[in-house]
Amino acid sequence: MSKGRIRNNVRTLRFHRSEMTQQELAEKVGVTRQTVIAIEGDKYSPSLEVAFRIAHAFKVPLEEVFQYESSDP
Amino acid sequence: MDLSYQEKSILGSLLAMVLVYGYYFANALRHAGESEFGGGGIGRLIFAVIAIIVIQIVYHIILALDSKPEPKDERDVLIECKAYRNGYFALATGAFLVIGGVIMAVLARDAAPTRIIVTPFLIVNLVLLFMVLAELVKLLTQLFYYRRGLR
């Protein structure tokens, strides 16, 4: 099975929400600020539940926050 | 280097373990000739355990005053799970080595006179050594994943 990569637009979406801070997003979602930093830096792919909570915090569909990039040609 | 509360907590535990058990095993090496695990050996072991607990409590009080403690979230739990897995492998490997070593030493002693003597002191310290190594593997794994990330 080929391994894909999950990208996200969390940083951009925060910027468009009048520069919401990482701490504010972390509190809304129920994770630590360190986890928000790791997600933004593509160092951590959150669980489906946290991914939905992030999308809900920005009031956008899930696909607008996270995109799956397949490594298949 | 910007360290999170969890990373600082792990670093403190790591340092405490290296210092206290480093001192303990350096002492144990000096008494390696003892055949029985007597009062002195037990005393040193109890001292090491109490020292670890005291250092950890004091360090974590200072850490809590310095930076706000953060509750663990799913990423912390996932990293902890991976760390426990690696620690378990280290502990299991150590257990097999001790069991194998004791069997080999007993077989060698029965076959021919040998200088290798399996004493309670040796067995207790070998088991303790692998327990400490397993904990170090766990802590280092956590630090590794906090720095590198889970991709």
Three-state SS sequence of B93-137: HHHHHHHHHHHHHHHHHHHCCCCCCCCHHHHHHHHHHHHHHHHHH
- pTM for this predicted structure: 0.87
**Contact yes or no for B84/B78 (Cβ under 8 A):** no
SS3 B69: coil
Residue type, A34: Q
The shortest C-alpha distance from A59 to chain B (Å) reads 22
* Option in B73, B148, B149 nearest A32 (CB): B73
The pLDDT tens digits of the residues spanning B88-103 come to 999 999 999 999 988 8
Instruction: Write the ipTM.
Output: 0.88
Q: What's at B68, amino acid-wise?
A: K
Q: What's the pLDDT tens digit per position in A1-60?
A: 567 888 999 999 999 988 899 999 999 999 999 999 999 999 999 999 999 999 999 999
List chain B residues with CB under 8 Å of A47.
74
